[in-house]
Each structure stands twice: as C-alpha cells, then as structure tokens.
A and B are shown apart, each in its own frame.
Chain A
C-alpha cells in the first residue's frame, strides 16, 4: 500500500502544480502586458540566457498532457483498491476524484479554470468510445435483437422526452417550482436533452455487473441508437425555441419528422460508406503493414466529423463505420495489425471514458453555474425514473408478443433501471443558448445532479439489485458437464434443423449469397478470400497432417539429412504460381489447430524437462507428449469450456470494455468439415470396399505405421520427394496445385466414395463456390 500512498502524493503534487501554474500564468500575463514595451530592452541588457522558463511556449499541450496523466493516475489508484471497486463502480469513484480535484483548483483559483467543454467532449473524447463500441460490437447478437433495440431507442426516447417536458411544464403551471422563466417549448427542449440513455455510462456500469447478453445488448444498443433521436429532437426544439411559439405550424412539425429520418439514415449511411472505404483500403495496404492500423482511426474520426458537418447523427455514423468494417479489416489486415487496432481502440476508449468522468466531477465545483431549485430538481429526478420504467414495461410488453423468447419481468426491471444519463446530456445542456434560455444554469445544475444520481447512486445499487433479483447472468453459473455439453448440442441441433428445413434464423440479414458474392469479392483481399475458401483450407489442413507424417516417417527411417539440410529448402515462390505463393505466408501464419497443439506441447515440454528442446522434430514432440499426458492434471470442465465447438451463431458474443476474446471460428469450421467428410467417406467406403483402415484420418492416433498413404496422394508421393522437408517442413507444405482438383471432386459430391476411385471428376467451380 505504500506505493499507492506515494501515488496519492503524486497526484496531489501534480494538482497543486497545476494550480500553481495557473495562478502563475495569470500573474505572468498581467506582467507581460506591462513589460511588453520594455521587453526588447530587457533582453538586451541581461545577455544570452543559458536556460529560460518558457511556460507559455508549451502551455496548451502541457496542460492537456498533465490532465490526461492525472486522470490515468486516478484510475490507477482506484483500480488498486479492489475491495472498494466491487461495491462502487469505477465511474462513480472517478467522479468523486473529480470533485476532489475540482475542489483543490477552486480553492487555489477561486474560479473553475478547467471544465468539460462541449467542444472537447464531442470532438475529442466521445468519438473513440463509440468507434470502439462499434468495432467490438457483436454483430449477430445486435441484429438479432435489432427490432427491440430500435423500438426502445426511437419510441422510448421520444416518450421520455415528451413526458418529461410535459410533466415538468404541468408542475410548473401548478406552481411546484416557484418562479422560473421557462416556457413549454423550453421544457420540451430540456426533456429532449435528458431523455437519452448514455452509452458511456451504460458501459461503465454494466461492465462490472455481467448481466446476460440479451439484456446488455438491448440497453447498450438502445443507448447508441438513440443518438439519432436525440440529435433531431434537440435541434428541432432548439429551432422551435428560436422561432418562438407562434411560428410553429404543421409544416414545421412535418419537417421535424422528416429530419429525423434524414438524420438517422443519413448518419448510418455516412458511417457505412466510411466503413466500406476502410475495408477497401485495407485490401491494398499489404506494403505498409506498419501503419495500416492507423487507417481505421483516421477514417473513423472522419466519419464522425463528416456526419457532424452535415448535421447528421455523428454517433450513428461512427458506430456503423466500426460495425461495418470489423469483419473485413480483421480478415484483410495482418494479425499483428488487428491486435494493434483492438488494443489501441481500447486504450483510447477507456482513456476517454476516464477523462470524461473525472472532468464531470471537476465541472461541478463551480459556483457560477449552480442554481438550486428544489422542486425542479427533485421532480426531474422523479419523472425520469418513473417514465423510464413505464416506457420500458409498455414497450417490452408489446414486443414480447412478437419475440420468440420474451424478455422476463426481471430483465425489464434492470432495463428500466439501466437507463442511465451521462456526459452527453451534460454536453448538450452546456450547448444551450443562454440568451434565449434564461434558466440555462438551472438546467445545467439539474442535468449534473441527474447524471451524478444515475452514475453514482444507480451504479452502486445496480449490482446488489441484479443479485437480489437473481437476474440471469452471463454464464457465470457453474453448470454440470452434461448441461454444458447439452447446451452446445442444442445449439448445433437448432442450426442443423434450421438448415434442413430451410429457415432463415431470426432477423439477421442472412442473404449469404449476396454478402459472400459481392461484398466479400469487393472488400476482401484476394488472399483473404482464399483463406475463406474452405475447400482450400481443408485441403491444406489435410495436407499438413500428411506432411507431418511424412517427416516423422522419414526420420524414423534414419534419414536425418533433410532435418539439418537448410540448403535443400526450395524456393516455393519461384516454383509455383504467384497466386499460391501470395497465399502461402498467410497459410503459415494460419496454422490453427496443429500449431496450437505443437506450441502447447513445446511449452509443457520445457517445464517438464527444464531445458528447452532445440529441434522442432515432431517425433520428439510425440514422445514427450506421451509422457506428459500421463503426468497432466486434467480439468474436465476447463477442457470442455475451451474446446467445445462454438457453432455458427455463437461467435464473439462476449463484449467487454477491458478484455476481448479471439475468434476461432475459421479453424473450427475446417475441423468440423474435415471430420464430417472423413466420417462420411469412411461410412461410405466401409459399405463399398473391403475395410481399408486408414489411420491417417485419425490425428490423435500415433502415426506409427508407414502404410497410411492417403489415396489421393498415393501416386503423387513420388513427386513430393524432391521437396526437402527440412525442419520447416511442418510449416511449408509439400503440395502441388494439382491436388486442389482432386479434393474438390471429393468434397461436394454426395457420392464421395466413388470419386476417390475415379479421382478425376471435376465439379464446375461455380458449383463449389455457391454451396459455400
């Protein structure tokens, strides 16, 4: 704890430094004016300066950097105290830290020099959070629940805005608020800025609660999509307020409704276009892999600014940009670049969130903005909660009639309680025009109180509420093994039944052919597309095993030449087509199953024996593995969780601020496909031919006998020998382009057994494309 103590001192020191700098700066400014004229004389008389204190030179960026540092240090201190963060969410603690810092600055300066200004917030802090959300969004889950999310976002937000505004106005008329100068339109404007659920706050609070994924995506999706509505409502009412009450007629209202559609769809379209642009760009960035991650940041930000420029919904724009491009850039870019993008986005997003909450706290310590009107504030809080719950219950009741899986009452309560307001509302409140809205400060104060209430109070009570109501959590319940296996069996069974009966599952846009034919063709690099071509991948997986067996067999025969002989390595690029060579490096990186297996074995190997195994000879691995298997402690549950196939709809359903899971579906699909084909082949062959045991098909059986030459490689084996399977043999494939044709004939024909014998039957390539 001494380290944390030091850190606190650091922070205090830094803040005091900041205050000191501020007051110094003010003093220096006034001095500067006085001495302006005599300045040149002064410098001449003092001679050449060895070192000078050039504060003004660096002031703006220095202050920014200092503030960022202070915020991050604050987060560090907070996160170090885990026993506190389990009860109070980090965002609440950051706000409190902001109070502290604000208080210190106020004490030093008597004026709040640092605030969360709308410009900084909307232009520099918010975009990356939304970009990160869009990029990490579980698309399938999102689109499956799209209907519900849209209903809540649009109708729910309008309902919130209207009811809040009208109720407050009603209370005003009833005299509950005393004497304030706000008209009906201004009430509606106020309602519209407070209506929207805030994505930053939702992420911050729900992150620590881990509710089930459907509930989370409903609240989170709503918080993102309602920006379209908020922007429209705010602008429309702002325009109405400027026009004054008299100028509003049906035409203006119709224009308002039209503007909603324009803003929402326009924003989405802009985002979509930018997403396509990014995908296209990453197609060609093979030679600048070092900076290709930069494109998504730049273009994402431009998407935000472009939408903002066209007065469309910027949040929708950047969100759709991220969502649209995720699949393509993950395939097109090098693996390291993908990691870079993911990590960097998380750094920026998390950092921004931290800074936002700290400044939300600081902005409160400012005497000039505080206007206290008990009635107004309390009534606002009350109405916000009540109307949120009413809205959620009514809308969900309507939706449940059309959903396959209705949302339970308990989930609805959490949805209602999770309607948190945050920095977006505050930003909009500060943007109000004080010449037209006399009570701007009252509104700002109320907004701040609402934000603090939702983030701090609701944030703290969210976890106990979730536990008390026994909300279905995100898979933290310890299921029995049978349950786990059975859940997966159900998932796969459902998918199979859907495929057999020709269903399109839920609402997800499953027009696979369109997406695969046109979009993938357009947006994926040709090598990435090849990777997607499962035919190709199954083939190389199978060949990988054959290569392994070949090497093992060769070693056993005593010829160690090719292990040591580096010179015998053939330059594949020269020997084969450019096409395949281009795909080759990707294949090598893309070893999936086998490399994982070998890598694991190697690691275990080192631990067991103490000295690292220098050679990568597979035979040695096999031997060591056998020993390890006996010594290994097998945790059945752990294994099950790690290795169960995920199935088509399940990928990447975990969305979290602080960690991300790696998508393994490509390898999985190949494995499954390979196995199915094999078993079909086996069952067919066992019916047709006298049992030819082919242990080459069983990867976990020791490759001990040298008799297992796969039929389609039988006559090709002679061709393989000039290729030196050096120690790189397990990564370089001794395959020939001709093999491709052989396997294609095996794959799609239901009479697969026959084609093994014929061997030359060629299916039309278009056929093999389409069926996948």
Chain B
C-alpha cells in the first residue's frame, strides 16, 4: 500500500508493462514480489529449477508443460517482463473494450488465450499439433491404467473429430473451431490478487 507509483519504479519496465498487459500497478507490484520470491538466488531472472521449487506443480499433470510455456524458444531464463506477459494471458477478458484497429490484440483476448493453449500442445512450434504431440499430452493427462494401444486409439479418434483438412494433424484453425462452444474466458481466466 502507500504510494504505489513510487514503488512501481522498482519494477523494471513497469509503466510499459502496465500498458501492454493491462495489469494494474497493484497487480504488477504483487507479481513482482512473487517473482522475487521465486527467484531465490536473486539473479533477476528465473530458471526452470526455480519453477520446480513450487511444490504443487509436481502434482500437476501438465505442470512442467506450463513452466515450459514461460520460456521463449531457445532461452533458458525468464525475466520479469516475460513472466508478466505470459500471466497476462490469464486475465479475464474485458467485455466492452473498444480498441482502435492499430492497437495490438491484448494478451487476454480469446484468440490469444487459444493461441497459448495451442502452444501448450505444439511444443516444436510448427503450427500444427501432430499425432506424437497429442499422444504426449494424452499420456500426461491420463491415468496409468490406460495402455499404449488405448492411448493411440484416443489420439486417433481425437484427430479424426477435429481434423478437417485430413492432414493427420490439428492446425490452429481446426483447434479453434473445435473449441468454439467452450467459454474460453471462463475456462482460462483467474482473478489476480492485488
């Protein structure tokens, strides 16, 4: 509390991040506190070990995948702006926001959220979810009782249902189409504390 604007100066690129992500100053401050808490060796950036120190993540079937999403391809560290940018995807969508056409799409728009979800599957970033990638996700999400053959059949079925151009992979458009009935805003938003 107190004068948040002055403490916002401690946050690197604070003002710019606020504009870009839509987080309020209070939110940003709290996230910065959290960032510093995770960054136990005080390096100014996070590595995957810092994420792994969050105990509940090891109980999450896709915990490591989510952690992977924070890291830009080829990078081994996450700085604060990347941290915030990824988290910005999870802000609730603002309904009546009108924006000028020139402004970039906000991180928490439905499209961007879907893109984030897509990238969770498509780790090699080739724009398609191949059968192998789908199998990997399914393996992580399903209990141990499920055998390899069963997994294969589930993956087959899933691709069959979603794949419209019959290329045996799911592109982003096909992905989005198959999820058009899902309330993405509801399913992929959390309320950030201040």
| Residues of A bordering B, CB below 8 Å | 404-405, 479-483, 485-506, 593, 596-597, 600, 629-630, 632, 634, 636-637, 639-640, 643-645, 647-648, 668-669, 671-673, 675-677, 679-680, 699-700, 748, 750-751, 771-772
Quick one: closest A residue to B187, CB to CB? Answer: A490
- Sorted from nearest, which 6 A-B pairs have the closest CB atoms? A636-B157, A481-B158, A496-B66, A771-B55, A490-B187, A750-B49
Bound-state Cα–Cα, A294 to B67, Å: 48
Chain A residues lying within 8 Å of B186, measured Cβ to Cβ, are 405
Within residues 151 to 194 of chain B, which ones have a CB less than 8 A from any CB in chain A? 153-154, 156-158, 161-162, 170, 175, 178-179, 181-182, 186-193
Bound-state Cα–Cα, A636 to B92, Å: 33
Chain B residues lying within 8 Å of A490, measured Cβ to Cβ, are 117, 187-188
Chain A to chain B contacts (Cβ below 8 Å), 15 pairs: A480-B158, A485-B137, A486-B179, A488-B141, A500-B38, A506-B191, A630-B149, A639-B142, A643-B143, A643-B145, A643-B146, A647-B61, A668-B143, A675-B144, A679-B64
A482 touches B158 (CB 8 A): yes
Bound-state Cα–Cα, A488 to B55, Å: 20
B179 touches A482 (CB 8 A): yes
Supposing A496-B60, A500-B66 touch, asked if A593 and B144 sit within 8 A by C-beta, the answer is yes
Residue of A645, A669, A677 with most chain B CB atoms under a 10 A cut-off: A645
Looking at chain A's contact residues, is the secondary structure mostly helix, strand, loop, or mixed?
helix
Quick one: closest B residue to A499, CB to CB? Answer: B56
A629 touches B147 (CB 8 A): yes
Supposing A489-B137, A499-B56, A639-B154 touch, asked if A494 and B142 sit within 8 A by C-beta, the answer is no
A644 touches B141 (CB 8 A): yes
Chain A residues lying within 8 Å of B181, measured Cβ to Cβ, are 479, 483
Chain B residues lying within 8 Å of A672, measured Cβ to Cβ, are 58-61
Bound-state Cα–Cα, A669 to B57, Å: 11
> Is B13's beta carbon under 8 Å from chain A?
no
Chain B residues lying within 8 Å of A643, measured Cβ to Cβ, are 142-143, 145-146
> Is B54's beta carbon under 8 Å from chain A?
yes
Chain B residues lying within 8 Å of A487, measured Cβ to Cβ, are 182, 187
A640 touches B92 (CB 8 A): no
Bound-state Cα–Cα, A286 to B141, Å: 37
- Can you list, as one digit per residue, whether each of B130-148 has a CB less than 8 Å from chain A (1) or not (0)? 0000000110111111111
> Is B71's beta carbon under 8 Å from chain A?
no
Chain B residues lying within 8 Å of A405, measured Cβ to Cβ, are 186
Quick one: closest B residue to A502, CB to CB? Answer: B34
Quick one: closest B residue to A498, CB to CB? Answer: B190
Chain A residues lying within 8 Å of B143, measured Cβ to Cβ, are 593, 643-645, 668, 671
Bound-state Cα–Cα, A325 to B76, Å: 47
Bound-state Cα–Cα, A419 to B138, Å: 43
Shortest beta-carbon distance from A23 to chain B in Å: 64
| Residues of B bordering A, CB below 8 Å | 31, 34, 37-38, 49, 51-64, 66-67, 87, 90, 92, 117, 120, 137-138, 140-150, 153-154, 156-158, 161-162, 170, 175, 178-179, 181-182, 186-193
Chain A residues lying within 8 Å of B61, measured Cβ to Cβ, are 492, 645, 647, 672, 675-676
B87 touches A501 (CB 8 A): yes
Quick one: closest A residue to B27, CB to CB? Answer: A501
Bound-state Cα–Cα, A596 to B147, Å: 13
Chain B residues lying within 8 Å of A504, measured Cβ to Cβ, are 193
With A634-B154, A673-B58 already in contact, 14 other A-B pairs whose C-beta atoms are closer than 8 Å: A404-B190, A481-B154, A485-B138, A492-B141, A493-B117, A495-B56, A496-B67, A503-B193, A506-B191, A639-B154, A668-B143, A680-B52, A680-B58, A699-B144
Supposing A496-B66, A643-B145 touch, asked if A485 and B158 sit within 8 A by C-beta, the answer is yes
Looking at chain B's contact residues, is the secondary structure mostly helix, strand, loop, or mixed?
helix
Shortest beta-carbon distance from A539 to chain B in Å: 15
B146 touches A494 (CB 8 A): no
A486 touches B149 (CB 8 A): no
Supposing A483-B179, A486-B117, A496-B60 touch, asked if A629 and B149 sit within 8 A by C-beta, the answer is yes
Chain A residues lying within 8 Å of B38, measured Cβ to Cβ, are 500
Chain B residues lying within 8 Å of A492, measured Cβ to Cβ, are 60-63, 66, 141
Which listed residue, B55, B63, B117, B189, touches A496 by the CB 8 Å rule?
Answer: B63
A494 touches B190 (CB 8 A): yes
B66 touches A497 (CB 8 A): yes
Bound-state Cα–Cα, A597 to B145, Å: 6
Chain B residues lying within 8 Å of A630, measured Cβ to Cβ, are 149
Shortest beta-carbon distance from B183 to chain A in Å: 9
Supposing A483-B182, A490-B188, A629-B147 touch, asked if A496 and B57 sit within 8 A by C-beta, the answer is yes
Quick one: closest B residue to A772, CB to CB? Answer: B55
B60 touches A636 (CB 8 A): no
Chain A residues lying within 8 Å of B138, measured Cβ to Cβ, are 485
Supposing A486-B182, A487-B187, A636-B153 touch, asked if A500 and B57 sit within 8 A by C-beta, the answer is yes
A748 touches B117 (CB 8 A): no
Shortest beta-carbon distance from B37 to chain A in Å: 7
Shortest beta-carbon distance from A394 to chain B in Å: 21
Shortest beta-carbon distance from B182 to chain A in Å: 6
Quick one: closest A residue to B170, CB to CB? Answer: A482
Chain A residues lying within 8 Å of B148, measured Cβ to Cβ, are 700
Quick one: closest B residue to A629, CB to CB? Answer: B149
Chain B residues lying within 8 Å of A750, measured Cβ to Cβ, are 49, 52-53
Quick one: closest B residue to A672, CB to CB? Answer: B61
Chain A residues lying within 8 Å of B58, measured Cβ to Cβ, are 672-673, 676-677, 680
Chain B residues lying within 8 Å of A668, measured Cβ to Cβ, are 143
Which listed residue, A499, A629, A639, touches B57 by the CB 8 Å rule?
Answer: A499
B191 touches A404 (CB 8 A): yes
Which listed residue, A494, A632, A675, touches B90 by the CB 8 Å rule?
Answer: A494
Chain A residues lying within 8 Å of B57, measured Cβ to Cβ, are 496, 499-500, 676
B161 touches A481 (CB 8 A): yes
Bound-state Cα–Cα, A647 to B63, Å: 11
Bound-state Cα–Cα, A699 to B142, Å: 14
Residue of A497, A501, A637 with most chain B CB atoms under a 10 A cut-off: A501
Chain A residues lying within 8 Å of B162, measured Cβ to Cβ, are 480-482
Shortest beta-carbon distance from A462 to chain B in Å: 24
A497 touches B90 (CB 8 A): yes
Supposing A489-B137, A636-B157 touch, asked if A669 and B117 sit within 8 A by C-beta, the answer is no
Shortest beta-carbon distance from A745 to chain B in Å: 15
Quick one: closest B residue to A683, CB to CB? Answer: B64
Quick one: closest A residue to B139, CB to CB? Answer: A675
Bound-state Cα–Cα, A616 to B16, Å: 66
Bound-state Cα–Cα, A501 to B194, Å: 11
Shortest beta-carbon distance from B163 to chain A in Å: 10
Which listed residue, B120, B154, B178, touches A636 by the CB 8 Å rule?
Answer: B154
A748 touches B55 (CB 8 A): yes
Bound-state Cα–Cα, A395 to B194, Å: 26
Residue of A480, A505, A677 with most chain B CB atoms under a 10 A cut-off: A480
B66 touches A634 (CB 8 A): no
B62 touches A648 (CB 8 A): no
Bound-state Cα–Cα, A670 to B117, Å: 26
Shortest beta-carbon distance from A593 to chain B in Å: 5
Chain A residues lying within 8 Å of B63, measured Cβ to Cβ, are 492, 496, 676
Shortest beta-carbon distance from A475 to chain B in Å: 13
Bound-state Cα–Cα, A640 to B156, Å: 13
